[in-house]
Amino acid sequence: MGVSGASGTPYAAAVLRALLEAGESVDLVVSRASRLTLLDETGLSFRDAHWRDDLREWLSRGADGKPDAFVVNLDGVRHWSAGDLAAGPSSGSYPAKGMLIVPASTACVAGVALGLSKDLLQRAASVTLKEGRPLVVAVREAPLGGQTLRHLVSLDDAGATVVPASPAFYAGATHIQDLVDFVAGRVLDAVGVPHTLYRRWAGELGGGSRTT
């Protein structure tokens, strides 16, 4: 899983928590730009030397910023520095089911579409595509310019799945975490990871407006 510098660090936290809850092992790459976004959106730092403590504090927070909203177990996470181009995920021989980029900035989208491999996140994405593994790109930007749209089409043509970070409201959201979890759930749906993050559409109008 890669986290790039777009706004939307709560999306990344929700996806990562759900992956771990589903029993998945995760190789994590947090780009340098995303660390600035994380600091701006949450006030938290992410440091390579203290990644486990920093990640635990980040994932324990809810989308509203309240601490200790979640209990997390990081046993299934392996962290790789974004500048480590000799890391395991930089090679096609490294075992992986696929890759999720959440959120994906327009710069990250461009880098992956053009095959720049300027850091480990982009290199791992290029490896994922060349090996024919699932790549999910949760782009978070508005509005989308023509250049970015062309890059997204290129990624789609290459076999990636583009999942815009666009919450839906039919699931009956009552809290910001519900909207975040909907996007996280759609990302996980794209790679077949089971979860219970949102109420699925059941073909019945008005279901989202009912109180339980």
Q: Residues with Cβ < 8 Å from 79, sequence gap 6 or more?
A: 28, 29, 30, 48, 51, 52, 55
**pLDDT tens track for 94-127:** 999 999 999 999 999 999 999 999 999 999 999 9
pTM for this prediction: 0.96
**pLDDT tens track for 38-69:** 999 999 999 999 999 999 999 999 999 999 99
**pLDDT tens track for 120-135:** 999 999 999 999 999 9
